[in-house]
Structure 1
Amino acid sequence: MKILLIEDDQITGSYIQKGLTSSGHSVDWLTNGRDALSAGLDTEYDALVVDRMIPGLDGLSLVRSLRAASVRTPVLFLTAMSGVDDRVEGLDAGGDDYLIKPFAFSELAARINALVRRPPIATEKTRLRVGDLEMDLVSRTTCRDGQTIELLPREFALLELLMRNEGRVLTKTMFLEKIWNFNFDPQSSVVETHISRLRAKIDKPFPKPLLHTIKNTGYTLHARG
């Protein structure tokens, strides 16, 4: 496995590089966000391990830039920024997982392996449609009734999950497992917050709602009724 590590702390970077290399992986270690952006655009990696607080270009901006350039390499944020808002911000920026420092190397290695094992989105279906709402999975664009809808990465992922499960009720736990792949506090309102933002974009400007709340159960997307 070829991994790009972006970590400016010499002790931590050396520790991770040695551990991953001894596990049989090829590791490129960079300490600057701008250098990492060039490497991420020019080289095909299996995974990126990104510290948020790095010089040149911070981790969030780095990942946003890669995603904007259609680089879909799995990203694991590795950082001391441990607040729920910090984690949500990292995942919304395009990260796939988030590990807090200090960490156990065995968990770091397991999370990287899990990211790489995730199957890609099936290529035989590149467009989703529910009523007059359309999603293009290749161009990562969404429109309703011909009007383009700008979605943040996590909003896009939420809507994609709902559209793939048209008419099926999805619970809060299902969203957390499928979209965030993270053990949030059950009392967290992160799902409700993102659903509210998504609804404001795909339903509020249009006469007929598609996104429906099922009281005490979850959410569903359909065009009936």
Structure 2
Amino acid sequence: MRILVVEDNRSLLQSIKQILSEEFEVDCADNGEEGLFMALQNICDLIVLDVMLPEMDGFEVIQRIRSEQIQTPVLFLTAKDSLEDRVRGLDFGGDDYLTKPFQAPELQARIRALLRRGGSLTTNQTIQYRGIELFGKEKDIVVDNYPIKLTLKQYEMLEFMIQNKGVILTKEQLYDRVWGFDSDTTIGIVEVFVHHLRKKMEPFGYQKDIQTVRGIGYMLKKQ
């Protein structure tokens, strides 16, 4: 699971990252424009979004996100605690609102609640695609009732594809989702891992379901 945190106070940003990194992969941005760019990649499961940001405030960020039909849950995290601000944030498409100062357990609990509500919390759940079952808590995979071994990155890529079955995923989306924005690897690693996934699925006949969309990326769909 991947969380995007957009917060201009760098000390608080690092504190939130440290808190959430116990459960999730965390990407960070310290201004609205950078946060918007990262959110529009549509690779995150949830966004923690401050309101008072340089370059572009949180209200404008969420308006732009929602205008692109991206429905990623958004938790506003801000010192602005007036009723008008809370209502405005929710009306723009926010899903929850937490004011500063806050306690780490409440932030974690609200994030888990939003992910459960959106059906995105797969870390402790089982997800399925045809005869493929992924057991999130153990990171185990069973194909046609036969357990197979995947590396963690292979598992994360397959999980992301299953979560978005029938949807075209660009190479950039897969790269940013699995390796992160700050990775030192190159985007060519995506093709390598897709090749490995297909080889793992080949004995069961599912390799053709990982379809190449020429010039764009890949899509998981029954051939």
Q: How far apart, in 2, do the equivalents of 1:94 and 1:3 lie?
A: 17
Q: Tell me which residue corresponds to 2:70.
A: 71
Q: Tell me which residue corresponds to 1:17.
A: 17
Q: How far apart, in 2, do the equivalents of 1:46 and 1:97 lie?
A: 14
Q: Tell me which residue corresponds to 1:116.
A: 115
- Amino acid in structure 1 at the alignment position of 2:47: L
Contact 2:42 2:70 in 1 (8 A): no
Where do 1:72-91 residues align within 5 Å?
72-91=71-90
Q: How far apart, in 2, do the equivalents of 1:39 and 1:29 lie?
A: 9
Q: How far apart, in 2, do the equivalents of 1:4 and 1:68 lie?
A: 18
Q: How far apart, in 2, do the equivalents of 1:64 and 1:20 lie?
A: 25
RMSD: 1.0
Q: How far apart, in 1, do the equivalents of 2:89 and 2:30 lie?
A: 19
TM-score by length of 1: 0.52
Q: Alpha carbons of 1:20 and 1:60: their partners in 2 closer, same or farther (altered >3 Å)?
A: same
Q: Tell me which residue corresponds to 1:38.
A: 37
Displacement after TM superposition at 1:119 (Å) = 4.2
Structure 2: stretches of 5+ with no match in the other structure:
120-223
Q: How far apart, in 2, do the equivalents of 1:68 and 1:57 lie?
A: 16
Q: Tell me which residue corresponds to 1:98.
A: 97
Q: SS at 1:99's partner residue?
A: strand
Where do 1:126-165 residues align within 5 Å?
none
Contact 2:47 2:75 in 1 (8 A): yes
TM-score by length of 2: 0.52
Q: How far apart, in 2, do the equivalents of 1:118 and 1:82 lie?
A: 24
Q: How far apart, in 2, do the equivalents of 1:54 and 1:79 lie?
A: 10
Q: SS at 1:53's partner residue?
A: coil
Moved over 4 A (4+): none
Q: How far apart, in 1, do the equivalents of 2:23 and 2:114 lie?
A: 17
Q: SS at 1:116's partner residue?
A: helix
Superposed CA offset, 1:185-210 (max 9, x none): xxxxxxxxxxxxxxxxxxxxxxxxxx
